[in-house]
């Protein structure tokens, strides 16, 4: 293919709507546009003038599948604005709830969206109904893994999506400890299935490497999605409250989302499970470390397809972390911590399934939201996605159109982007010049 336009109107098997335009002249790619197409929904404007107590539940509606991430980021931002320090029990139960989120969300992405790419198929519906088939086995593993994540969420926070129990200062209701033994038994039982998935994504031989930096939260004492300092492979250390001092917005005129680069050198960066394992693999649960030594040896990696493997390893970490918590926690009766309302600014930075999520709350003296800001990981990954696609097309223009389409989508899916919660079918137009 020497010249022409490649247009993918809707990328399939991602969360939300995105498209791709590629312009080729004289055998070279001269332009790539990765377009996030979901319309803006103005949650951060709509939350203004509302009492702070309503903000977490309201802003969790930004996303369905990872609503718990937005819920906890909002709670953290509000708590920081009010100088509320929660109890160790609350921190532990939030960690358990977050383990459940990662187990469920990563399983959805890996087994329902990426597994067809690994098998060279279009959809999980094309996986043969054959018990000796690896795809069949992995798909049925995914049902068990995803269901377990959902069930832990329901026990700890009341629901896997738009959970009603977490609140500012703690929990409205504490979990029923009598349900812990069954969850423990199921977590132990699921480990071989999770390890089978790790091996499958380790064997997935797709590769696309870029010389790019990686950013994630790091807690020196444990692998942590909720607490830490932002670090990067090149040695940056960024306190969460200084987030906006280190990243600049880039207007992307053809997309419904802005992009982000480092403020000092305007370099782009990558977020997500790959960044977390690249930067924090030494802090994984000891049991996870023991059982994944072979797979962890390839990290740090700059192959974006290894984001899938990193997610599979994070599932095992979350299983092992949940086992550790459920074995040791003793629930004591306590109420959410409350303080007199005050004016303040609070930052909540956590690791969502897809990478670093930023929430900023500005509260007045009456406890009303004056201003709110959210920066999601897919926006921050947008420029890296475009650069990867440009590199791929420049190196593979000799391939046929169907192969180019399949690989382009698999690259985008490797980032696990989340534009909204709808999955769309693909329409592609090829216009030759």
For residue 371, what are the contacts with CB-CB under 8 A and spacing of at least 6? 48, 360, 361, 362
Please state whether beta strands 170-171 and 369-375 pair in parallel, antiparallel, or not at all (unpaired).
unpaired
Q: Residue 355 forms beta bridges with which residues?
A: 352
Give the model's pLDDT for residue 423: 27
Give the model's pLDDT for residue 315: 98
Give the model's pLDDT for residue 15: 58
Q: Which helix (H) or strand (E) holds 91?
A: helix 88-107
Q: Residue 430 forms beta bridges with which residues?
A: 6
For residue 346, what are the contacts with CB-CB under 8 A and spacing of at least 6? 76, 77, 78, 79, 80, 81, 82, 360, 361, 363
* Annotated domain spans of the chain: 43-432
Is 43-432 CATH 3.90.1200.10? no
Give the model's pLDDT for residue 46: 84
3-state SS string over 171-234? ECCCCCHHHHHHHHHHHHHHHHHHHHHHHHHHHCCCCCECCCEEEEEECCCCCCCCCCEEEECC
Q: What is the pLDDT along the chain (433 residues), one digit of tens a residue?
A: 445 566 666 555 555 667 778 887 777 787 888 877 655 667 788 889 999 999 998 888 877 677 899 999 999 999 999 999 999 999 999 999 999 999 999 999 999 999 998 998 888 888 888 767 888 899 999 999 999 999 999 999 999 889 999 999 999 999 999 999 999 999 999 999 999 999 999 999 999 999 999 999 999 999 999 999 999 999 999 999 999 999 988 888 777 778 899 988 888 999 999 999 999 999 999 999 999 999 999 999 999 999 999 999 999 999 999 999 999 999 999 999 999 999 999 999 999 999 999 999 999 999 999 999 999 998 899 899 989 998 998 888 888 878 888 888 899 999 988 754 222 223 334 434 4
For residue 427, what are the contacts with CB-CB under 8 A and spacing of at least 6? 8, 9, 10
């Amino acid at each position: 293919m020497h010249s022409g336009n490649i247009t993918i109107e809707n990328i399939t098997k991602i969360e939300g709507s995105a498209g791709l335009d590629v312009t080729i002249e004289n055998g070279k790619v001269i332009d790539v546009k990765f377009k996030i197409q979901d319309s803006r929904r103005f949650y951060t404007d709509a939350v203004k003038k509302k009492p702070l107590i309503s903000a977490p539940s309201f802003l969790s509606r930004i996303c369905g599948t990872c609503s718990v991430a937005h819920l906890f980021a909002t709670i953290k931002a509000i708590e920081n604005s009010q100088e509320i320090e929660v109890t160790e029990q609350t921190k532990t139960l939030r960690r358990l709830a977050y383990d459940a989120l990662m187990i469920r969300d990563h399983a959805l992405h890996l087994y329902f969206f990426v597994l067809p790419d690994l098998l060279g198929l279009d959809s999980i519906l094309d996986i043969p109904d054959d018990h000796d088939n690896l795809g069949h086995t992995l798909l049925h593993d995914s049902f068990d893994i995803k269901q377990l994540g959902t069930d832990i969420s329901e026990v700890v926070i009341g629901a896997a999506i738009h959970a009603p129990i977490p609140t500012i200062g703690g929990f409205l209701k504490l979990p029923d400890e009598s349900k812990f033994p069954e969850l423990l038994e199921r977590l132990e039982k699921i480990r071989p299935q999770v390890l089978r998935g790790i091996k499958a994504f380790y064997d997935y031989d797709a590769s696309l490497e870029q010389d790019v930096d990686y950013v994630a939260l790091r807690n020196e004492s444990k692998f942590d999605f909720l607490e830490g300092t932002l670090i990067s492979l090149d040695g940056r250390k960024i306190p969460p409250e200084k987030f906006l001092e280190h990243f600049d917005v880039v207007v992307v005129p053809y997309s419904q989302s802005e992009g982000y680069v480092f403020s000092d050198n305007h370099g782009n960066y990558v977020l997500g499970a790959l960044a977390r394992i690249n930067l924090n693999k030494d802090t994984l649960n000891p049991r996870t470390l023991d059982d994944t030594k072979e797979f962890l040896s390839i990290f740090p990696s700059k192959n974006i397809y290894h984001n899938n493997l990193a997610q599979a390893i994070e599932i095992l970490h979350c299983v092992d972390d949940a086992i550790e918590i459920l074995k040791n926690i003793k629930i004591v009766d306590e109420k959410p911590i409350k303080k007199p309302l005050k004016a303040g600014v609070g930052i909540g930075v956590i690791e969502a399934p897809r990478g670093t999520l930023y929430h900023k709350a500005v509260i007045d003296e009456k406890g009303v939201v004056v201003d709110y800001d959210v920066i999601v990981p897919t926006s921050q990954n947008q420029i890296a996605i475009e650069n990867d696609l440009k590199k791929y097309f420049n190196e593979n223009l000799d391939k046929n159109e169907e192969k180019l389409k399949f690989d382009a989508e698999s690259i985008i899916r490797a980032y696990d982007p989340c534009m909204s919660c709808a999955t769309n079918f693909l329409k592609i137009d090829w216009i030759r010049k």
